[in-house]
Structure 1
């Protein structure tokens, strides 16, 4: 099972229906279902009460097929929730040795687009060891167009060994003509689901032994084989004094008959059982504890047993008779009945359910019940408590659905109103977001704002910044923030401690890091934003640390090592106190790059070793993988192909794979290894598949690295024109964002390639070319060190690189004789970090011990005298 700290999946929804012993075996339909498995899709379509779920459950039980099941409901109209349930249902079919990678993939959604997630998801499913069936029951409950689109895409491209079955009360909301034309769709509709006379006789014989054959024939004629009608009639006839007259009255439209017969059934029950049904209809699913809460009694378990023994439309959700739900049609009848005849009971039952469910931590259901009961204060309290977890899960449509459940006149708290605006931003609803923010800004200006004023203003800066950044409106950010940064006082950890990175090795690759966008504007905004946070005591909030990390990576890319190192040191200290892998790993990888390209190669390796030890353990596999990739890249740069191969082996990826976007960094490392092994064709095949994914995700950093690798490999294999075309694309991105290190890291190979590019410009149009790119490329070439400069740097005595203030402070503590343990306590570092920083200082001073370092620093006048 896919379990994570944020997961609140109801595992009963992914269990196959519990088959009842006394079922009429529907051999003709089971044979049809068996034949349909050879195709792509089966649709079982009919109104409520036609036995769709029962038929599918019986088929899977009798045939013992490998099958996965998801029972859908309205709350699942959220792309993230929908596909997580599908993934959870299929997880038992994944081989044990692939389960870790599978679970890691599921956790990346919604960090990547639905299309990218589905591509990777289907790649994983290609490895199913045996044919299987996935049943999505009650698909009519799904109303989100994005789910319909993604499911149609999944059906078209899913692995051949996985057959999909949908049961629905309505036609499918996406085109199916292509599958009909290819004879890949089987439809079982209402007319086929109706009981035959023989099936009706068998059913009635099991349900009502007192019925005569002519009663059965007449019932079959009156119900036209409608299964629920037969079941209702059989129950009602137990108490009917005149069975003939009852059967004669039994006619009309299915829904009208259902309402009539449900009324007949319920009206004939004892008062306490009738009240129990009405009160518990407020519950989406029932167990003894929740039933006791809404009825105010203590006999929930025994009442559930009585309902089950009477065959009163109670559907078990597990093998232990702990959880149940009512048949959908019966539940609809009960709810409508209570709402119309006893609204007071409907409200009190929902409120009691909400209080009980909230106390048990079942907040999804608690919020729904509180909204249904009209207690919006309770709903908001539950939402405030639950919102951080739902945000982590990325279920933004679910949160918006709850917000839409509040009447327009409801005055939400400042935090919840801001959250609603933030959700509009992240779901791309710019107009609604803008309207919502305008209302909040008016509230903040109002003299009645009171204590909420400052809370609103700080939150507005955060949400408005997200809005303007999401749509690239940087100039508007400056206009908006002018004059309010000094008043900025953030108070809500919901926004400021949101974890922006769950899946990427570098912050710049995330949406928060703008996926590679760099400019003077983004630098200025980052500095202003971080400065405001730090002035008001939020220097170690996650949002500030991620801003600093993105800036540090940007400075590294721009070849501004000192500024990058200074920020990384601050981040590393904070990471020591509060370990967040999505921040810690990018920090260590960036620090490694700084060490390596500053000539401190031992420190680079030590930094990754220490980081690897820190993230070791279950749950951090994705981060261990990224560190293994980073180590492999170091080995490749020093020419150690065999060592790089050992690190790549830890990633469990191969050249024959269909690469998925969430592991782009790892696959790019594999491509580098394949290049070093002279396996150009395999590397190019992977890169060709990765490029459209990076483009779809808008990853500028990824597109540039892919383009450079492609150009190098194409040039090496004699495809000069294609190489220059690909290189031009990478240069265009690099020039727009001022990239430097991405090109310099390629060393001599990239330098030669860039020189060929300049030559090709002259050949196309001598003396002209593309002026901008010519200047940019010439600037890059000037930064590549020649052999003479490298020899001078290597032989230089004294201080090669200045010490930072933090390094001088650490050196001063060494002078005072403090141990590494004591220094770590004073500077809030780990002992391992102290060793790493000490080695870095030794490297800068050209010494190899503490004593030599102190003497050298004193000679240079770096230490204060006591």
Structure 2
């Protein structure tokens, strides 16, 4: 637990830290030996009811396992019934023990969880784990709390393909919900069940005599072992009763029944003998899942929790430490369960009130996940709605949508969820693939718009409806309903809801059109029309700074580039570059700079192209996530390849962090395709083709059209390069079919003369000539169109020689000189006797004339055009 509000996906250290062993433990060598022998297999299951010492045993084993075996630990709770949260926390647990640089790569992998399929993520994770040196054990404690079938299925897949150096050890109260027969048959599965975990007579004697110095006879110990059936919690409870002065003979006569009967009886015995202050304290704090002194003070409405916690610890009241500072604790699940049932039964209103106090205390400290859970337990649905409203942006950012759905579904049917919150609910349904339910909820919200409603509230709801319906349209590709809806809003001025309009659509892709918002590379007249209408609508309302506006604009810019509409692409890229988010969000500024680099490279202006990449690299240098720097390094290598700078390619490749011997994962598809290009330039076609053959099915599984086409094109070029013309033309045909359906042009043109040669071979094979244009199918005309766009060498040289479209004024030449001197806007204003605002306007016009978006690029272009040579 941390006092920092979880605005980002923060992993609580207590969840991924092996608990500290309790003092006065009985050494259980027979069980720890069994665990140690089992780790050479694939899976160990420790399965028994509550109170049999599963966690204690695993803690004891983990702290004694020695330096040769690293132990990654994950303490599960009910909130981990969220696919994203479960795997993010599990991977962070592994990363914590993996060392560097493996730990950094594993942590970076979690950032792609929201953007790729389950199988692709797991394959990438397993590939990373195969590289780990040494033996590692992953402990999943309290797995019985997980009920999500997606998690069960994904964990079974994970264990199926587990590297031999990794072992999974699961502690659960119930059998695993997936089959383990195969691993049992292969002797890769170790099990410790209830009968194994029961204390033997010798261990029982050691517990009472050696550890707790309790003078019991052999017969009394035997009877206790029989009555408790070796149940360690029963032995502990019996010890507490005996230590309180209970008559041993009477106690043993009355002590019988199954575990639940025994635990209730014994907990009652223990609780009834506590001092009133301590009894009241443990009863009230039993509502807390995890606690420190401040939370306890808030719930008990006292100021002495620190002393009472210490007293509870000294009294052996099943208080378990969660951190090395002895600041955070929880009660043993059985003890907490007993107290909670007692509280609910005898004081139901107090149970609700205490949970509400806990929720309010968590809100004040920024523990919003916990605040939501306590509000649900306290049945305070107004408080729950308030918590969700405040917490939704952070949860959307973290991607833990499973928990959001569960929280929304905690409202009773009779409770009227506020319409604004219902919009968020619809958005979450949409993001989790439940488009039909989302649309039904949107219809209900729309129907709730009342003429009597406050005008501001009505407009805010209309704003949210526009946003969610727009996402529905972009994700489903169903445009008709969006047109109908948008027609009613064309003349309304709507406020922008920050919770909606600051949603980050790109956390890991080099180009926006590779994301779901960019339809993963699908291009059509509809996508352009919708994108243009949508951005026009947002512009009319002054929402040019909203993330969705900028991401759609950037996606349109990238689409125009692919369609070879370079001026349209440049115009939008410059507009995006002038926004504040485009300078802050890597998901925007990296694609924007890469688009600029591609535009410059298409004109042969490689110095400017490198400048664009370098500017993005500098902006990304301070980011914790190294993913963006890797993408930019790949872009830099692609530019070197276009320029035939083989020495620079060779020097830059090691910094890419991938190898031709890897089993490539989809998460780094852009980097591996870059590597394949580099290998091809070194005449290592076989290695390059191997990478592409492994990547292509992953792109197909992710339905990434742009990746499928690029890989197909590269396969064709590489096969042709090594003399396999028939195979090359087959790959080219597949790429052309997909390309023609989406109007792809630059993907082919940017490959240069090698693609032109191959396209001419394709045209000869299919007898395509300018005279046959319009006589065959669309594919034939498409091929002829592509061929017509390849320029002869003389024209390419002319295109590479830049010319200024519009002459610069004397003031603009002066600005260029000042830029070269490194003057600030303020210094420029003083020198030219202008206001800073006017200087900004002049700079904007200067950039537009030069076709650039920054000072660095302006200087490079001025040098190319010899604009300052007269000085």
Report the TM-score range of the alignment, normalised by the length of the smaller protein: over 0.9
Of 118, 122, 132 in structure 1, the residue corresponding to residue 122 of structure 2 is 118
Q: Partners in 1 of 2:809 and 2:360 — Cα distance? A: 55
Q: Partners in 2 of 1:196 and 1:458 — Cα distance? A: 67
Q: Please show how residues 532-543 of structure 1 align to structure 2 within 5 Å.
A: 532-543=537-548
Of 697, 707, 727 in structure 2, the residue corresponding to residue 702 of structure 1 is 707
Secondary structure in structure 2 of the residue aligned to 1:444: coil
Q: Partners in 2 of 1:564 and 1:341 — Cα distance? A: 70
1:672-692 residue CA offsets vs partner (Å, 9 max, x unmatched): 100000011111111111112
Q: Please show how residues 417-566 of structure 1 align to structure 2 within 5 Å.
A: 417-445=422-450, 447-448=452-453, 451-487=456-492, 489-566=494-571
Task: Find the counterpart in structure 2 of residue 864 from structure 1.
Answer: none
Q: Partners in 2 of 1:595 and 1:126 — Cα distance? A: 40
1:773 aligned onto 2:779: yes
Task: Find the counterpart in structure 1 of residue 833 from structure 2.
Answer: none
Structure 2 unaligned regions, length at least 5 = 829-838
1:82 aligned onto 2:76: no
After superposition, the Cα gap between the structure-2 partners of 1:789 and 1:460, relative to the gap in structure 1 and judged at 3 Å, is same
Task: Find the counterpart in structure 2 of residue 856 from structure 1.
Answer: none
After superposition, the Cα gap between the structure-2 partners of 1:639 and 1:272, relative to the gap in structure 1 and judged at 3 Å, is same
Q: Partners in 2 of 1:368 and 1:173 — Cα distance? A: 26
Q: Partners in 2 of 1:713 and 1:825 — Cα distance? A: 48
Task: Find the counterpart in structure 2 of residue 245 from structure 1.
Answer: 250
Deviation of residue 5 (structure 1)?
6.3
Task: Find the counterpart in structure 2 of residue 52 from structure 1.
Answer: 54
Of 19, 22, 31 in structure 2, the residue corresponding to residue 20 of structure 1 is 22
1:605 aligned onto 2:623: no
Confirm or deny: 8 A CA contact 2:604 2:799 kept in the other structure. no
Task: Find the counterpart in structure 1 of residue 381 from structure 2.
Answer: 376
After superposition, the Cα gap between the structure-2 partners of 1:834 and 1:219, relative to the gap in structure 1 and judged at 3 Å, is closer
Secondary structure in structure 2 of the residue aligned to 1:192: helix
Task: Find the counterpart in structure 1 of residue 835 from structure 2.
Answer: none
Secondary structure in structure 2 of the residue aligned to 1:487: coil
Q: Partners in 1 of 2:764 and 2:180 — Cα distance? A: 53
After superposition, the Cα gap between the structure-2 partners of 1:615 and 1:325, relative to the gap in structure 1 and judged at 3 Å, is same
After superposition, the Cα gap between the structure-2 partners of 1:505 and 1:520, relative to the gap in structure 1 and judged at 3 Å, is same
1:62 aligned onto 2:82: no
Task: Find the counterpart in structure 1 of residue 632 from structure 2.
Answer: 627
Deviation of residue 771 (structure 1)?
2.0
Deviation of residue 694 (structure 1)?
1.1
Confirm or deny: 8 A CA contact 2:577 2:589 kept in the other structure. yes
1:244-300 residue CA offsets vs partner (Å, 9 max, x unmatched): 232222222212222222122112211211111111111110111111111111111
Secondary structure in structure 2 of the residue aligned to 1:348: helix
Task: Find the counterpart in structure 1 of residue 10 from structure 2.
Answer: 8
Confirm or deny: 8 A CA contact 2:94 2:103 kept in the other structure. no
Confirm or deny: 8 A CA contact 2:545 2:581 kept in the other structure. no
TM-score normalized by the length of structure 1: 0.92
1:92-136 residue CA offsets vs partner (Å, 9 max, x unmatched): 332323443332222222222222222222222222221011100
Confirm or deny: 8 A CA contact 1:459 1:490 kept in the other structure. no
Q: Partners in 2 of 1:688 and 1:373 — Cα distance? A: 55
Task: Find the counterpart in structure 2 of residue 95 from structure 1.
Answer: 99
Confirm or deny: 8 A CA contact 1:48 1:328 kept in the other structure. yes
After superposition, the Cα gap between the structure-2 partners of 1:140 and 1:759, relative to the gap in structure 1 and judged at 3 Å, is farther
Task: Find the counterpart in structure 1 of residue 793 from structure 2.
Answer: 787
- Over aligned residue pairs, what C-alpha RMSD do you find? 2.6
Q: Partners in 2 of 1:13 and 1:613 — Cα distance? A: 35
1:707-734 residue CA offsets vs partner (Å, 9 max, x unmatched): 1111222233344443333222222221
Deviation of residue 334 (structure 1)?
1.4
Confirm or deny: 8 A CA contact 2:42 2:164 kept in the other structure. yes
Confirm or deny: 8 A CA contact 1:575 1:583 kept in the other structure. no
Task: Find the counterpart in structure 1 of residue 301 from structure 2.
Answer: 296
Q: Partners in 2 of 1:393 and 1:694 — Cα distance? A: 25
Confirm or deny: 8 A CA contact 1:576 1:828 kept in the other structure. no
Confirm or deny: 8 A CA contact 1:292 1:299 kept in the other structure. yes
1:659-710 residue CA offsets vs partner (Å, 9 max, x unmatched): 2222211111111100000011111111111112211211111111111111
Deviation of residue 770 (structure 1)?
7.6
Secondary structure in structure 2 of the residue aligned to 1:340: helix
Deviation of residue 148 (structure 1)?
0.7
Of 651, 662, 675 in structure 2, the residue corresponding to residue 646 of structure 1 is 651
After superposition, the Cα gap between the structure-2 partners of 1:250 and 1:782, relative to the gap in structure 1 and judged at 3 Å, is same
Deviation of residue 581 (structure 1)?
1.5
Q: Partners in 1 of 2:524 and 2:615 — Cα distance? A: 33
Q: Single out whichever of 830-839 and 424-433 deviates more from structure 2.
A: 830-839
After superposition, the Cα gap between the structure-2 partners of 1:793 and 1:302, relative to the gap in structure 1 and judged at 3 Å, is closer
Q: Partners in 2 of 1:639 and 1:604 — Cα distance? A: 15
Task: Find the counterpart in structure 2 of residue 835 from structure 1.
Answer: 855
Confirm or deny: 8 A CA contact 1:208 1:234 kept in the other structure. no
1:178 aligned onto 2:198: no
Q: Please show how residues 621-770 of structure 1 align to structure 2 within 5 Å.
A: 621-761=626-766
Deviation of residue 649 (structure 1)?
2.2
Secondary structure in structure 1 of the residue aligned to 2:281: helix
Confirm or deny: 8 A CA contact 2:570 2:599 kept in the other structure. yes
TM-score normalized by the length of structure 2: 0.92
Q: Partners in 2 of 1:686 and 1:258 — Cα distance? A: 60
Of 211, 216, 220 in structure 2, the residue corresponding to residue 215 of structure 1 is 220
Secondary structure in structure 2 of the residue aligned to 1:279: helix
Q: Single out whichever of 749-758 and 359-368 deviates more from structure 2.
A: 749-758
Q: Partners in 2 of 1:494 and 1:204 — Cα distance? A: 59
Q: Partners in 1 of 2:725 and 2:176 — Cα distance? A: 50
1:849 aligned onto 2:849: no
Secondary structure in structure 1 of the residue aligned to 2:191: strand
Of 133, 138, 141 in structure 2, the residue corresponding to residue 134 of structure 1 is 138
Matched residues, number = 841
Of 357, 364, 367 in structure 1, the residue corresponding to residue 372 of structure 2 is 367
Secondary structure in structure 1 of the residue aligned to 2:448: helix
Deviation of residue 529 (structure 1)?
0.8
Q: Partners in 2 of 1:811 and 1:357 — Cα distance? A: 62
1:434-472 residue CA offsets vs partner (Å, 9 max, x unmatched): 221111111125644654221111111211121232222
After superposition, the Cα gap between the structure-2 partners of 1:827 and 1:359, relative to the gap in structure 1 and judged at 3 Å, is farther
Q: Single out whichever of 26-35 and 444-453 deviates more from structure 2.
A: 444-453
Secondary structure in structure 1 of the residue aligned to 2:22: coil
Confirm or deny: 8 A CA contact 2:812 2:842 kept in the other structure. no
Q: Single out whichever of 449-458 and 519-528 deviates more from structure 2.
A: 449-458
Confirm or deny: 8 A CA contact 1:600 1:840 kept in the other structure. no
After superposition, the Cα gap between the structure-2 partners of 1:445 and 1:813, relative to the gap in structure 1 and judged at 3 Å, is farther
Task: Find the counterpart in structure 1 of residue 840 from structure 2.
Answer: 825
Confirm or deny: 8 A CA contact 1:488 1:532 kept in the other structure. no
1:151 aligned onto 2:155: yes
Q: Single out whichever of 163-172 and 684-693 deviates more from structure 2.
A: 684-693
Confirm or deny: 8 A CA contact 2:804 2:865 kept in the other structure. no
